[in-house]
Amino acid sequence: MRTATVERKTKETEIRVCLNLDGSGLYNVSTGLGFLDHMLEQFSRHSLIDLDVKATGDLHIDGHHTTEDTGIAVGEAVAKALGDLKGITRYAHAYIPMDETLTRVALDVSARPYLIWKVLFTRDKLGEFDTELFREWFQAFAQAAGITLHVENLYGTNNHHIIESCYKGLARALRQAISIDPRKADSVPSTKGTLGGSL
pLDDT digits (tens, 9 = 90+) for 78-111: 999 999 998 999 999 999 999 999 999 999 999 9
What is the count of structural domains for the chain? 1
Give the span between the Cα atoms of 26 and 129, in whole angstroms.
Answer: 24
Domain residue limits at 159: 3-177
Query: How crowded is the C-beta side of 135, counted as CA atoms within 13 Å?
Result: 12
By percentage, how much of the chain surpasses pLDDT 90? Answer: 89
Decide if 194 is inside a domain: no
Q: Strand, coil or helix: what is 196?
A: coil
Of 26-30, 40-44, 181-185, give the lowest mean pLDDT range: 181-185
* Partners of residue 17 on adjacent β-strands: 6, 53
Q: What digits encode the pLDDT tens for the residues 31-72?
A: 999 999 999 999 999 999 999 999 999 999 999 999 999 999
Decide if 191 is inside a domain: no
List Cα–Cα distances, 26 to 19, 21, 46, 53, 156, in angstroms: 10, 11, 10, 11, 29
pLDDT over 70 (residue 192): no
Decide if 197 is inside a domain: no
**pLDDT band at 198, cuts 50/70/90?**
very low
114-118 sheet: strands from edge to edge: 91-98, 101-109, 147-155, 114-118
pLDDT over 80 (residue 170): yes
Decide if 126 is inside a domain: yes
